[in-house]
């Protein structure tokens, strides 16, 4: 497999990591300097920064096949599927010598991961690749599997409308990656996330950590004995909550390396120092532990590893626990009924229904990783079954986890609607849905451990010996009215303000509508960051220049980018409100800077509002359209001209520094969602 393919898969070992979006200055550098900087960022797995350098290098030599291929690889590296597919297509047109045959394979893969609407196009592209690619290797086999999967998608497009997938919102999710949900309270979880843990604003340090959702008073949980210099993630409790398993991954020069599994015991009201398990292989990654049972009622440790002796890539292995449950048998591969030439990861064993869930990028699916279920034990398993839509999507769907009372199911996905940094599908968030099959027990006992430990979820009917030291948390009955009220309160806290480049969208006309949607205008605007920084700081020196550049940087980060993140969150919460049966009216206002006459500005304001309406029309492949059609969702618009802009904002065409590139002027070119009301 190619280097990036293997490198990407390694990142799945403990998380779907968001590759760090470094701030880079690519101006005034020679072609060789840009390429060198890009290659260094690529090797450090900072694919977003690498893509910026490659883009600037291509401005100096746009038909360079190698540079285009490297750009496509970088875009794929941080899951920018649409961008990668466009550039892979350009590589195929420029590569007359056939130097990059895998561009055809990856184009097909990127099309599949973009949306189901691209399935037919992906199938044709993969067939073209197969006809030209004459090697008998992994890519040949994978292409054939993907072609068959495209046909399978055509037969399995129906969505189970009884399942409503809910984005968990900002209480859990960020624009980084969240994954590995662990139910620990009624409706509450622990989870893993890759975040900047440094207090030094000049030196960021991104490491995976385990975090607590409220009501736990501690924001994060570091297992006793874990190395704070490593990535610590992928937690899992034993069924009696007296053992906490987790993964610890090496960190070298900012790049995660191999991983090992550790366990910490709860004894005498404390979590003991973690110990490395004997099942680890020092030459391979060992990660994503999960505890289940065999038919004899004995505990089994499942985990993922790329050790020798597997079927290919990452496989799922198991080890039987015996004695005091700290003795582990030699790991055994689950065998070819589960594991494939591709990657099988994130196992979870449902002890209530005796099922093993996992994710795979090989079996027939909608694209990327899909979630599957199987039953059995040891090496005897049933044919894995795809959980279908809406659980699975064309993007990566992993970490399927079920609450111990069977009431709720969680998963992690980079599907559209997740928060993100620089690509709509770059980053993983945690989602959930209600199973509507809660298991009644004699005592549903949830307990919270002392504050110096991690939360504990007891799943047996008999409380453990240390229950008298903690508070019991009751499960509250579901109340639809309060849910709607809570949803309305939550959505009103994230009303987005969205920003535009001067005269956009569709510059220089008096139309009051546009065919563009806000995602397109945002991406174009975001791409002008360096131009704004250059133009606004032009002619300045030293501290004044630094101050001007910082002002632009702050504007793009806190206004332009944050506005779009808020729009993604708002859209998800709006969908939740509509699914509750509410009739919702959203009021939108459009604003302009004072650089034109009033009639033009009013029309421009309406075009900006129209771009936002188009975004809602296109959101999640048109999921809001039925609500718009039946009147459950009303989008009301108001536009204002230059009269609302502060009087000291420049309106002089000859002073573009202040009338266009000044962040104060840019603040006026916006659309605001000003209210959400129930009707």
The answer as to whether 13 is a domain residue is no
Q: How far is residue 592's CA from residue 529's CA, in Å, rounded to a whole number?
A: 19
Note whether 494 and 440 are same-domain residues. no
Residue 113 has pLDDT above 50, yes or no: yes
Q: How far is residue 91's CA from residue 54's CA, in Å, rounded to a whole number?
A: 14
The answer as to whether 598 is a domain residue is yes
> For residue 408, what are the CA distances in angstroms to 395, 428, 437, 600?
22, 19, 9, 52
Note whether 239 and 342 are same-domain residues. yes
Note whether 76 and 48 are same-domain residues. yes
Q: Which of 316, 357, 321 lies closest to 333 in space, CA to CA?
A: 316
Q: How far is residue 344's CA from residue 338's CA, in Å, rounded to a whole number?
A: 8
* pLDDT number for residue 471: 24
> What average pLDDT does the structure give for the chain?
84
Note whether 632 and 656 are same-domain residues. yes
> For residue 461, what are the CA distances in angstroms to 209, 289, 294?
31, 24, 20
The answer as to whether 554 is a domain residue is yes
Q: What is the DSSP letter of 23?
A: -
Of the residues 438, 459, 478, the one at which a domain ends: 478
* pLDDT number for residue 654: 66
* pLDDT number for residue 47: 92
CATH label of the domain that carries residue 420: 2.120.10.30
Note whether 339 and 265 are same-domain residues. yes
For residue 388, with 0-12 CB atoms within 10 Å meaning exposed, 13-18 middle and 19 or more buried, which class applies?
Answer: middle
Note whether 660 and 600 are same-domain residues. yes
Sequence-separated (6 or more) residues with CB below 8 Å from residue 228: 222
The answer as to whether 588 is a domain residue is yes
Two structure tokens written together for 398? 């992993």
Query: What average pLDDT does this structure show over 247-270?
Result: 87
* pLDDT number for residue 480: 40
DSSP string, 248-266: EEEEETTEEEEEEEEEEEE
Q: How far is residue 242's CA from residue 291's CA, in Å, rounded to a whole number?
A: 12
Query: What average pLDDT does this structure show over 626-640?
Result: 87
Which residues form the domain of 95? 19-155
Confidence of residue 646 (pLDDT cuts 50, 70, 90): low
Query: What average pLDDT does this structure show over 46-69?
Result: 94
Q: How far is residue 446's CA from residue 474's CA, in Å, rounded to a whole number?
A: 8
**Phi-psi label, residue 159: left if phi above 0, alpha if psi -120 to 50, beta otherwise:** beta
Of the residues 434, 459, 478, the one at which a domain ends: 478
Note whether 472 and 507 are same-domain residues. no
CA angle 514, 519, 523 (to 5 degrees): 110
The answer as to whether 215 is a domain residue is yes
DSSP string, 498-553: EE--TT-SS-S---S--S--HHHHHHHHHTTHHHHHHHHTTT--HHHHHHHHHHHH
Q: How far is residue 590's CA from residue 407's CA, in Å, rounded to a whole number?
A: 43
* pLDDT number for residue 448: 37
Note whether 150 and 258 are same-domain residues. no
Contact 556, 526 (CB under 8 A): yes
Rounded to the nearest 5 percent, the helix, strand and coil shares of the chain are: 35, 25, 45
Note whether 429 and 517 are same-domain residues. no
Confidence of residue 479 (pLDDT cuts 50, 70, 90): very low
* pLDDT number for residue 652: 62
Of the residues 98, 120, 155, the one at which a domain ends: 155
* pLDDT number for residue 191: 96
Contact 269, 465 (CB under 8 A): no
Least confidently predicted of 11-20, 415-424, 617-626: 11-20
Residue 638 bridge partners (DSSP): 589
Two structure tokens written together for 12? 């799945």
For residue 360, with 0-12 CB atoms within 10 Å meaning exposed, 13-18 middle and 19 or more buried, which class applies?
Answer: buried
The answer as to whether 160 is a domain residue is no
Query: What average pLDDT does this structure show over 441-445?
Result: 37
Residue 203 has pLDDT above 80, yes or no: yes
Note whether 46 and 23 are same-domain residues. yes
Contact 419, 569 (CB under 8 A): yes
* pLDDT number for residue 41: 92
Buried b (16+ CB within 10 A) or exposed e, 536-550: bbeeeeeeeeeebbe
CATH label of the domain that carries residue 39: 1.25.40.10
Note whether 526 and 627 are same-domain residues. yes
Q: Tell me the pLDDT tens digit for each residue of 490-515.
A: 788 879 999 999 888 988 888 888 99
* Bond preceding residue 215 cis, omega within 30 of 0: yes
The answer as to whether 516 is a domain residue is yes
Note whether 418 and 446 are same-domain residues. yes
DSSP string, 442-474: S----B---TTS--B---SSSPPTTGGGS-B-P
How many other CB atoms sit within 10 Å of the CB of residue 284? 18
Buried b (16+ CB within 10 A) or exposed e, 108-124: bbbbbbbbbebbebbbe
Contact 238, 245 (CB under 8 A): yes
| Torsion angle of C-alpha atoms 331, 334, 339, 341, degrees rounded to 10 | 50
Q: How far is residue 372's CA from residue 360's CA, in Å, rounded to a whole number?
A: 7
Domain count, the chain: 3
* pLDDT number for residue 200: 85
Total-model pTM: 0.67
Q: What is the DSSP letter of 557?
A: I
The answer as to whether 294 is a domain residue is yes
CATH label of the domain that carries residue 612: 3.30.1330.60
Contact 17, 256 (CB under 8 A): yes
Residue 1 has pLDDT above 60, yes or no: no
Contact 510, 572 (CB under 8 A): no
Q: How far is residue 408's CA from residue 166's CA, in Å, rounded to a whole number?
A: 11
**Phi-psi label, residue 552: left if phi above 0, alpha if psi -120 to 50, beta otherwise:** alpha
Query: What average pLDDT does this structure show over 384-399?
Result: 97
Q: How far is residue 39's CA from residue 37's CA, in Å, rounded to a whole number?
A: 6
**Phi-psi label, residue 475: left if phi above 0, alpha if psi -120 to 50, beta otherwise:** beta
């Amino acid at each position: 497999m190619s280097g990036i393919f293997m490198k990407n898969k390694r990142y799945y070992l403990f998380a779907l990591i968001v590759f760090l979006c470094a701030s880079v200055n690519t101006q005034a550098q020679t072609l060789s300097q840009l390429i060198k900087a890009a290659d260094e960022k690529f090797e450090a797995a900072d694919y977003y920064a690498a893509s910026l350098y490659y883009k600037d290098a291509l401005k100096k030599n746009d038909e360079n096949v190698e540079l285009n291929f490297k750009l496509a690889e970088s875009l794929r590296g941080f899951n920018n599927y649409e961008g990668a597919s466009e550039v892979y297509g350009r590589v195929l047109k420029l590569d007359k010598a056939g130097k990059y045959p895998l561009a055809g394979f990856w184009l097909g893969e990127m099309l599949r991961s973009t949306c189901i609407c691209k399935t037919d196009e992906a199938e044709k592209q993969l067939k073209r690749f197969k006809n030209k690619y004459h090697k008998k290797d992994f890519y040949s086999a994978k292409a054939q599997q993907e072609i068959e999967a495209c046909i399978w998608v055509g037969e399995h497009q129906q969505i189970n409308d009884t399942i409503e997938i809910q984005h968990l919102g900002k209480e859990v999710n960020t624009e980084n990656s969240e994954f590995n949900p662990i139910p620990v309270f009624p409706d509450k979880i622990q989870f893993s996330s890759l975040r900047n843990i440094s207090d030094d604003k000049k030196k960021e340090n991104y490491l995976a950590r385990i975090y607590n959702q409220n009501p736990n008073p501690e924001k994060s949980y570091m297992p006793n004995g874990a190395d704070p210099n490593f990535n610590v993630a992928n937690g899992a409790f034993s069924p009696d909550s007296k053992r906490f398993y987790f993964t610890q991954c090496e960190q070298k020069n900012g790049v995660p390396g191999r991983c090992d599994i550790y366990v910490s015991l709860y004894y005498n009201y404390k979590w003991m120092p973690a110990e490395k398990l004997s099942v680890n292989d020092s030459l391979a990654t060992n990660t994503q532990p999960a505890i289940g049972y065999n038919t004899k009622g004995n505990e089994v440790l499942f985990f993922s590893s790329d050790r020798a002796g597997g079927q290919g890539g990452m496989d799922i292995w198991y080890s039987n626990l015996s004695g005091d449950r700290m003795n582990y048998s030699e790991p055994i591969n689950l065998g070819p009924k589960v594991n494939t030439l591709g990657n099988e990861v994130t196992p979870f064993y449902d002890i209530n229904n005796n099922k093993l869930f996992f994710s795979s990028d090989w079996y027939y699916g909608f694209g990327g990783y899909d979630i599957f279920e199987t039953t059995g034990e040891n090496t005897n398993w049933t044919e894995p079954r795809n959980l279908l839509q809406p659980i699975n999507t064309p993007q990566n769907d992993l970490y399927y986890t079920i609450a111990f009372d069977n009431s709720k199911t969680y998963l992690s996905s980079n599907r559209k609607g997740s928060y993100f940094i620089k690509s709509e599908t770059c980053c993983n968030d945690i989602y959930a849905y209600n199973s509507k099959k809660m298991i009644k027990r004699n005592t549903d006992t949830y307990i919270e451990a002392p504050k110096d430990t991690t939360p504990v979820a007891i799943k047996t009917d008999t409380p453990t010996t240390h229950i008298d030291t903690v508070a019991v948390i009751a499960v509250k009955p579901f109340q639809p009215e309060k849910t709607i009220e809570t949803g309305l309160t939550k959505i009103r806290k994230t009303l987005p303000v969205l920003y535009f480049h001067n005269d956009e969208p569709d510059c220089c006309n008096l139309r009051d509508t546009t065919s563009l949607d806000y995602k397109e205008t945002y991406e174009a605007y975001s791409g002008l960051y360096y131009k704004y920084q250059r133009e606004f700081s032009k002619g300045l020196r030293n501290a004044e220049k630094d101050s001007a550049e910082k002002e632009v940087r702050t504007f793009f980060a806190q206004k332009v980018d944050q506005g779009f993140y808020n729009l993604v969150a708002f859209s998800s919460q709006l969908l939740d409100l509509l699914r509750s049966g509410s009739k919702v009216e959203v009021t939108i206002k459009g604003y302009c800077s004072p650089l034109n006459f009033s009639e033009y500005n009013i029309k421009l304001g309406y075009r900006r509002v129209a771009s936002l309406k188009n975004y809602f029309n296109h959101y999640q492949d048109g999921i809001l359209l039925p609500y718009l059609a039946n009147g459950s969702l009303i989008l009301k618009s108001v536009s204002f001209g230059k009269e609302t802009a502060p009087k000291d904002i420049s309106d002089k065409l000859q002073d573009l520094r202040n009338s266009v590139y000044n962040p104060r002027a840019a603040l006026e070119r916006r659309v605001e969602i000003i209210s959400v009301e129930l009707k």
